Structure 1
């Protein structure tokens, strides 16, 4: 197990206390700590289990999950040793979503038993609050409800991971030629306005991504010392994912368009550039995770994220457009 993906001792201690040192499996609920033989000794048979596995090959491992979220308390559930082995030996029967449900329900039961009269009211509030967001991952829901240390950044990382996973799969399929779309044909007279529009669009996509990363995310995270807004964070992440989806749509438009042979060099230059942008955009959750994983992260920090077209790509596009116009004029004269 990678050291950075282990639970720190404070996480283990806290998740045990939140579970009242009882197994969170609703069919077990075994007490996991008690007296040892010596007067000052105690025995513990409970374990802080990873809901999403801590390392490659472990149960419920999610390769696109960030290290910071993998080792956070929001990915932990308190189980007795027997139940920990049970859920890890049969991940098909015990998927991550089920374990999140166990953890949440167990803490609700414990809250009611320790005399929190408002536990049922809080439960109603939490349910209503989560309804505002629509579909989220279980981990994102838990981060929203518990709001631990650096929760704004961990929520951003997790929502981006969840929202962009299908986009990454779609891009992988497009790269491997696993699907096609009906081809459109652009006539010689219509090509220049068409390619100019595509150039304008790709630049607008870059500007939108940078605006979201450096303005909207920062606003949603809140000013220094001020809690962020979970609603704004989720909205900004979904806008970002929407822009990434438009990158794929742009690439499809380029790839599945038939043009006159005079313009094919220019079309080839445009083909694939969206993929370069998308693969950089997909690194944002990992970037946040790496930042959060730094030891002793304290104080005020500014995150600057910039997405850009490859060096010289725009200049080469302009040069090829000028050449295409000249070739088109020569073709007309011929």
Structure 2
């Protein structure tokens, strides 16, 4: 069996720099389509050629699908988002006599995808990778191995892959537009990491709504989308724009953190500051006042991903598709509704 090629060896064979190889493997721009295709093709033919485990996925069936999240992301006690997606996927797969294995990635396995045991030990027929913080390197490695996979709440910018997303742009556009229609004029967006597609699209929707109303977008970026990061981002926003009168948060957890800071600083919600979340998790009805939010059809995301994955397993030659699931506004008292 051919030894795995290093990035340096790949670069030498293709006559390109190691930096170019790294950009391809991490889904970074600045590489031509021709070079990108040659790198991925050489990976498939040589050092990254499908191993016995990956080949077995194409020639036999285990009747098991792995649903994978990053170990440190989206603690279900704080942001119960992915358990509902798993439930949707599991419901559909069970109707097809396929079972689901829920597992998580630690940082070490993310950096060394060849050590991911669900594939290495031939346990599963394919992967549903859920979350914006699953690295392009992990995704592209398994694609190069011929492993059927679909990603949820994530999308590569420079490589084609099957993905299922929310209408993040449309949902945040409608939320910000609603605040504007309610008379708010100094609206801040509390964003998650800019490298996440959901953060970029929600921020873009917010900015588009403000631009249409001839208002200036104001954004604060956080390293994660938790209650704690919402508190930190809200504190920063109040320091920079003390007269703000509206908040659009990247998700409900951040909105809950923002509401805590606003209340502790003496701002009345919604009289002084209106707050909008995103996702419509169960906690959004338990805040004081209840949180207006953008409803995400979480179970449907799981169903759509599972359907697509079974299609790809049945026909590996299907071209990748991007599926967008719609959203709707849920209006509650945090925006005066």
Which of the pair has more CA radius of gyration? 1
- Structure number with the bigger relative contact order (C-alpha 8 A, sep ≥ 6) is 2
Q: TM-score, normalised by structure 1?
A: 0.30
Q: TM-score, normalised by structure 2?
A: 0.30
- Which has the larger strand fraction? 2
- Which has the larger helix fraction? 1
